[in-house]
Every structure is written in structure tokens, then in C-alpha cells.
Structure 1
Amino acid sequence: MSSFYPISALSFELLFETATLKQVKAGTILDNLGDIPSKIYLINKGVMRSYVRLESGKEVTKSIFVPIVLLASFDALLNQSPSGSIYETLTDCEIYEVDYFKYKALCSTNEDILAFHIKFLEYLLCKNDQKHIELLTMDARERYLKLRQMIPNIDNLIPQFQIASYLSITPVQLSRIRSKL
């Protein structure tokens, strides 16, 4: 957390009190399509993804999350509306669940936590912009290499179709890229 904002020990303790450490099995849905979420998650160990399911039934992976990352269906959380995405553990995970409403109450009363919140939202905006730029400017091979750089053992952690979905390519295209490497 201090990488976003140098939060005080007291503020950190207040935040920590809003969180619960959980061990979660691979394949667990934390937030489902249509759920109105109430939690923010911090991955301590493991890999997760967010994805959408098209009318055809095809799954399209939006994001892959690794430690130490804060994640949530932020649009649904902020607007208290049904989530358009599914959040799933891809491996066994150790996560902290943060109660969003307790967190927001802390933001209202603690300037240190509010400053952290603002810095985190700025980070999310930048990451989203970066991902769009990568999709527009990098080819599939470059995006795959970047993913492998971020998660070196990705090919051993999750199925090829999920990697391909994240890269916005087909599993066949991914197989060709991998064979050429």
C-alpha cells in the first residue's frame, strides 16, 4: 500500500481492521455477473482474473491479477449496480477481503486513508490507459511476451484458452506464437 501513498501505521491498522484474510480454492467465483459487490480484494498469493461472458457463451478475459494487487468490480462497487464482470481465482489464492463500506467510512474520517484512495484511483486510471495503448500498439506476440514477463510461469498456471482470451487472440494463434518462440 505504501507504494501508492506513505500511509501511517495508525491508518494502516484502521484499514487492516476492515479486512479478512481468506484461503480460496482455484475456480472460486468471488463476484459473479449481476452481483452487487461489497468487497475489495487484495491478492496476497495466487492468480485471479476478471472476465465477461458473451451471449454466445464465450468467455473474454479482461484482466489477470497477481500479488500484490487490489481489485474489485469497481464500476459496480462505486455505483452499487450489478457487476458486468466475473471475478474468479485461477489458482489457489490467499486474499484479503476488504469491506468496501467500512473502507469508505474511513475515507470520510481519515485524511491519510483518503489520500491513499485518491492515489490508488489515479493508479487505476493510468493502468487502464496503459492497457488500451498496449492493445492498440502491440502485436499479439509482444503482448504475450509482456504477460510472461509479468507472470513468468503463466503457461504452467492457467489454461491456454484463458491466456489467449486475455491477449485477445485465439488459442490457435497463441499456440503458433509459443511454437515460434
Structure 2
Amino acid sequence: MEDPNYDFLKSKFHVSKETYFILRRMAKGRKLKTGETLVEQGRKSRKVAFLVSGLMRAFNTLETGKEITKNIFTPISFVGAFSSIVKDEPSKFCYEALTEAVIFELDLHDFKAIAEKNIDVSNLYNRILEQIFIIYEKKLIEDMTLNATERYTRLKDKIPMIDDLIPQYQIASYLNISPVQLSRIRKSLL
């Protein structure tokens, strides 16, 4: 029987069956309801997740109450407060399910301990970190070089039903624009 999670990890990160089974033993599958959090802003966490289905986001709530969405995660991606875990400090972001989601969650410290003894797991860890860096760099470049309409169009290409799945203010926050500006962009594209 085919396993799409293994197929993804094998194609993207060259994971062997042995390494995959190590990960499966470490990871705990769970379902998140819409609005349920993986990590809360201001709290420490040791957990990272592999998002299998649904949408999640990382956001920061300012003292004014305004939310700044740093990222929207789609399947299949890694989600977690990596900086918080590595630096052993409270997370600056909340990681929340935007829709019902299925994740496989594991303790990053346990994963790193195995990586210190197993070269295949260590190589996987390095490839995952490289991939995360590439994703953030791509988003940074898009934020700096594309206008709001182009960023919205790219988001719609990535998540075609985004307008039906999450509130407009969350989309606008991710695009770093106001909900009013997003409404104007939508009208201009019709």
C-alpha cells in the first residue's frame, strides 16, 4: 500500500524506509479543529508538526490587538516555532489551524538526539532546515518585489479556495495590506 507521506519525504528529502519508520515511531498523529493551536504566542514548545491536510498559520498579536500573519501553511509542510525551540525561549508567534487539519507531531529535541547518532536522520534534519530557509527567503523576496495584487494572485494560485476558507482579515494580514485594500484588489480582478 502506498503512503503519500513517505512518498513526499522520499521525493523531497531522499528519506529511506528505515528513516521513515524512525519518524513514524517518534511522531504522534492528531487532528486539529479550526482555531486550535499547536503553539501559543508567549509559550515555549518542543514540538514541530508535519501538516498532512488542512491549513495553518503563524501569527503574532500586537499589544493593540492587531494580528500579523507571518505564514500560511499548506499540506505538505513543516510547522512549528523553530526559533523558539532552538533558542529555548517563548514563541513570538501562535501556530493555529485555519481549517480542520491533520498533523504528525514530534519533539524536536528527541529528533535532534537521534540525528546526533544516525547520519540519515541528521541529513534529513539538514535538508528540512534548508527547505525552510528557501521557503522563507522566497516569501521575503515576493514581499519585497511584488505588489499587493501580484501577492494575492500568487496566494490564490497556491490555495485556490482561500477566500472561502478563511476570513478576509487573515488573508489581508498575510499579504501585509488592509482588508479594505484586499476588497479593492478582489473587485479589480473580477
Q: Per the alignment, in what secondary structure is the counterpart of residue 34 of structure 2?
A: coil
User: In structure 1, what is the equivalent of residue 134 of structure 2?
Assistant: 126
> How far off is 1:27 after superposition?
0.4
User: In structure 1, what is the equivalent of residue 88 of structure 2?
Assistant: 80
Structure 1 segment 12-161 matched on structure 2, within 5 A: 12-161=20-169
Identity of aligned residues (%): 40
Unaligned runs of 5+ in 1: none
Unaligned runs of 5+ in 2: 1-8
Runs of 4 or more above 3 Å deviation: none
CA contact (8 A) 1:4 1:116 kept: no
Q: How far apart are the structure 2 equivalents of 1:25 and 1:125?
A: 28
> How far off is 1:33 after superposition?
1.1
> How far off is 1:3 after superposition?
3.5
Q: Deviations over 1:158-181 (max 9, x none)?
A: 000000000000000000000111
Q: Which has the higher contact order (CA 8 A, sep 6+)?
A: 1
Q: How far apart are the structure 1 equivalents of 2:140 and 2:16?
A: 34
Q: Deviations over 1:105-156 (max 9, x none)?
A: 1111110111111111111111111111111100000000000011111011
The reply on whether 1:171 has 2:189 as its aligned counterpart is no
> How far off is 1:13 after superposition?
0.4
Q: How far apart are the structure 1 equivalents of 2:37 and 2:54?
A: 14
> How far off is 1:101 after superposition?
2.0
TM-score normalised by L of structure 1: 0.97
The reply on whether 1:11 has 2:44 as its aligned counterpart is no
User: In structure 1, what is the equivalent of residue 3 of structure 2?
Assistant: none
Q: CA RMSD in A?
A: 0.9
CA contact (8 A) 1:4 1:120 kept: no
TM-score normalised by L of structure 2: 0.93
